[in-house]
Structure 1
Amino acid sequence: MKIAIIALGSRGDVQPYVALGKGLQAAGHHVLLLSHENFDALAAAHGLEFCAMYGNVQAIVEGEEMRRLLAKGNFLEITKYTARESKRAATMWAKTGLEVCQGMDLLVAGVGGLYLGQALSEKLRLPLLPAFVFPFTPTKAFPGALFPNVIARFGGMVNWLSHQLVRQILWQGSRGGDNAARQQILNIPTAPFLGPKLDSRYPTLYGISPAVLSKPQDWRNTEVTGYWYLDSPGDWTPSASLVEFLAAGAPPIYIGFGSMGNRDAAATAELVLSAIEQTGQRAVLSSGWGGLQPETVPDTVYLIDAIPHDWLFPRMAAVVHHGGAGTTAAGLRAGVPSIIIPFFGDQGFWGDRVAKLGVGTAPIPRKKLTAERLAQAILTVVSDAAMQQQAASLGAQIQAEDGIARVVTTIEEINPLKLVSIAHDAEFSGD
């Protein structure tokens, strides 16, 4: 089967779909990954055919405006900014997608590529499988990923409405660009004001462990498959100095904020180093895209840039991070406690989930982070034996899962003749 995967967003948004593509390709399918131009090396490292979509997300995240917005943590303002950027790119994305998706049998899209995927699905009469890494299907079981967990006290209907609002926030921010792409490039009708509906004939896939988030009873035709991990290439090796540092003492604490920009990187570095000093712990400090580059660090701290989480995290005493879906998944699989410092978006949802599962402390929002609060959280995770045991137990459950294999099975169970029949029916019904 020829499968196009549309994955737009930051590294954490794209990496799970690289893993899916790699698994589908290993199962004998032809896979094309459509993503931002700065992810070409990532795709090449894992042997995937790649189509560059206009835009460099890393450059946007590192820009002064995005750093300012991330520091404020206002998701609505961040959404407005990214909506302006995506509107400028939408027609170019549609033009590229239309060219390269001709002759495909199936489209797969995450939230970042969902609306483009739906438009291409309509134009090319191709089935689309939604594949998400955070809850996007409305449910009465828990609040939407952008809402605080405390609203659950108001009952299931409020939870359900919060999910609908999340979908509208994302859709309305994308609607202008989607309309332009449909009218100027694809020559298809614009989507309804409240957004296009997903085709219920195909399942919605979730790259989340059922041990972390069990499938709600009101999720129909939905599969919670397990995480989609992209492990490091087999020939990857750590630096000798890092190996020496790890062997020189007790397991350290990992601290890193991924692609979350820090407007005042020096102040953040000072805060983190102060917290480490207060606890007496050793630490591995990751700069990521946030520019976390203190000029000098004590001997108890090792400074790294990018490094495979699947290798590093199991060697840590605990992990401190921003709560992105992918980093959270890596920390949980490692079987060590987590401290989540959410900046915006679904990161608070995962922070609450980690605390509820008993495998980490309550999240500390970035705007409320102090050296004292971080130090106290670190002291908690290194001294709480029950939390450490719970984290190890959950990690073992996750390690026994194979989310990618479940996705491959689901896709292969879709009869190609059925796909042709559905596309034919849609063409003549005008759906």
Structure 2
Amino acid sequence: MKITAFAIGSYGDFLPILSLGKELKSRGHQVTIATFEEFKSVCEDSDLIFKKISGNSKELVSLLLGNSKNTRSEGIGGIAFLLNKYPELFMQFNSACIGSELIIYTLFGALSYHFAEKYKIPLVRSFVFPFDPTTKFCSLVNKAKRNSISSYIWYYKCYIFFNMGSLSIVNEWRKKLGLSKWNIFRSYRNMNRKKIITLYQYDTILAERDKNWSEHIFITGVWRNLSLNRTNNDKEKIDDFFKRNKNIVYVGFGSMVYDDMKKLFEMVLCSILELDKDISVVISGSDFSFMDTMNDEDKFRVLLVDYIDFNQYMHKF
């Protein structure tokens, strides 16, 4: 089967799809990953076909998540800005989809939906966090009240916000594809009145499956491939730290981009150190200059790393 997976986002969004692609290829499928140029070499090193999607992870994360105040206007404006900045996206999505027998997309690859509809290609959605309405909580809005209809409604509000930000471009694309007009109330969760299979890349220990979800929704557990390697220059330092410390907390913010990461790291780290004198901390990031003001005892309890291999060390936390 010819499968195209859209992995548009940060390295953390891309990596699970890469793992899935390698597994699908090992089972005899032809796998194409449509993603940013920065991930091209990783795809090709894994013997997967690469298709370019314009943009880059830092711009996307910074504009829509990192430095955003998470307001409606910023979210809608950010989506519209990126879609208008890269007019070549239509041809890139179209090229990646033509000839595919199955399309898989993660959050920011949702626009592949319209090409799947046009070419009648089966579609699978996949997310790293709950993206289907539930009354338990709203993973998209922190002010939504848990275990209430408010959480449920907020999911639909977020769907509308996304549609508002992309509506102009989407209808331009759908006109080129010969499809009917889209509107802000239409859903990416169904196609031709059928629910789209949805895969969640997390374990139920993080969030239990809502019993009201239909059978098309699956919680699969974490997608990871132990053969995926990245050079860890701090291995000796990390091993030594684990030998001399028992109660260890890991702190990391992945690919998030904020204007003042230094202040954020300082607040989190100092809070943990004050919480319990027996706790030591492994922290990954880029700006640790605030450490200069810490006393030697606290410095000894902190390990600074650029990258840590979760497959190798997470069981120690």
**Structure 2 SS opposite 1:151:** coil
Matched, 1:132 2:127: yes
Q: In structure 2, do the counterparts of structure 1 residues 151 and 236 end up closer, same or farther at CA, with 3 Å as the change threshold?
A: closer
Pairs within 5 Å for 1:135-150: 135-139=130-134, 141-148=135-142
Q: Does structure 2 conserve the Cα–Cα contact (< 8 Å) formed by 1:143 and 1:149?
A: no
Equivalent residue number for residue 29 of structure 1: 29
Matched, 1:190 2:181: yes
Q: Does structure 1 conserve the Cα–Cα contact (< 8 Å) formed by 2:126 and 2:198?
A: yes
Distance in 1 between the 2:51 and 2:143 partners?
A: 38
Select between 50-59 and 80-89 the one with higher mean Cα deviation.
80-89
Q: In structure 2, do the counterparts of structure 1 residues 293 and 207 end up closer, same or farther at CA, with 3 Å as the change threshold?
A: same
Select between 128-137 and 24-33 the one with higher mean Cα deviation.
128-137
Deviations 1:30-77 (A, max 9, x none): 1111112222244345443221200012245458x97543xxx43425
Deviation at 1:306, TM superposition (A): 2.4
Distance in 1 between the 2:89 and 2:282 partners?
A: 38
- 1:166 pairs, out of 158, 163, 179, with 158
**Structure 2 SS opposite 1:176:** helix
- Name the amino acid aligned to 2:180: P
Distance in 2 between the 1:87 and 1:26 partners?
A: 35
Q: Does structure 2 conserve the Cα–Cα contact (< 8 Å) formed by 1:7 and 1:33?
A: yes
**Structure 2 SS opposite 1:58:** helix
Distance in 1 between the 2:204 and 2:66 partners?
A: 34
Equivalent residue number for residue 240 of structure 1: 236
Q: In structure 2, do the counterparts of structure 1 residues 89 and 190 end up closer, same or farther at CA, with 3 Å as the change threshold?
A: farther
**Structure 1 SS opposite 2:50:** strand
Deviation at 1:150, TM superposition (A): 6.0
Which TM-score applies when normalising by structure 2? 0.82
Deviation at 1:148, TM superposition (A): 4.3
Q: In structure 2, do the counterparts of structure 1 residues 127 and 235 end up closer, same or farther at CA, with 3 Å as the change threshold?
A: closer
Equivalent residue number for residue 295 of structure 2: none
Q: Does structure 1 conserve the Cα–Cα contact (< 8 Å) formed by 2:6 and 2:105?
A: yes
Pairs within 5 Å for 1:318-397: none
Deviation at 1:293, TM superposition (A): 3.0
**Which structure carries more helix by proportion?**
1
- 2:114 pairs, out of 115, 119, 138, with 119
Deviations 1:361-389 (A, max 9, x none): xxxxxxxxxxxxxxxxxxxxxxxxxxxxx
- Unpaired runs of 5+ residues, structure 1, are 317-431
Q: In structure 2, do the counterparts of structure 1 residues 77 and 19 end up closer, same or farther at CA, with 3 Å as the change threshold?
A: farther
Deviations 1:135-156 (A, max 9, x none): 23334x4243224476345x54
Matched, 1:267 2:263: yes
Deviation at 1:216, TM superposition (A): 2.8
Pairs within 5 Å for 1:187-266: 187-196=178-187, 198-199=190-191, 200=194, 202-233=196-227, 238=232, 239-266=235-262
- Identity in percent: 23
Q: Does structure 2 conserve the Cα–Cα contact (< 8 Å) formed by 1:269 and 1:294?
A: no
**Structure 1 SS opposite 2:88:** helix
Deviation at 1:119, TM superposition (A): 1.0
Distance in 2 between the 1:264 and 1:104 partners?
A: 43
Distance in 2 between the 1:76 and 1:97 partners?
A: 26
Distance in 2 between the 1:61 and 1:49 partners?
A: 24
Equivalent residue number for residue 312 of structure 1: 313
Q: In structure 2, do the counterparts of structure 1 residues 27 and 161 end up closer, same or farther at CA, with 3 Å as the change threshold?
A: same
Deviation at 1:110, TM superposition (A): 2.0
Distance in 1 between the 2:163 and 2:184 partners?
A: 9
Q: In structure 2, do the counterparts of structure 1 residues 202 and 164 end up closer, same or farther at CA, with 3 Å as the change threshold?
A: closer
- Unpaired runs of 5+ residues, structure 2, are 293-298
- 1:74 pairs, out of 70, 77, 83, with 70
> Matched residue pairs, number?
304
Distance in 2 between the 1:255 and 1:210 partners?
A: 22
- Name the amino acid aligned to 2:179: I
Aligned-residue Cα RMSD (Å) equals: 3.0
Q: Does structure 2 conserve the Cα–Cα contact (< 8 Å) formed by 1:91 and 1:177?
A: no
Equivalent residue number for residue 167 of structure 2: 175
Deviation at 1:161, TM superposition (A): 2.5
Which TM-score applies when normalising by structure 1? 0.62
Q: Does structure 2 conserve the Cα–Cα contact (< 8 Å) formed by 1:87 and 1:176?
A: no
Equivalent residue number for residue 16 of structure 1: 16
Q: Does structure 2 conserve the Cα–Cα contact (< 8 Å) formed by 1:90 and 1:180?
A: no
Deviation at 1:214, TM superposition (A): 3.6
**Structure 2 SS opposite 1:224:** strand
Equivalent residue number for residue 50 of structure 1: 50
Deviation at 1:172, TM superposition (A): 1.7
Select between 211-220 and 254-263 the one with higher mean Cα deviation.
211-220
Distance in 2 between the 1:252 and 1:133 partners?
A: 25
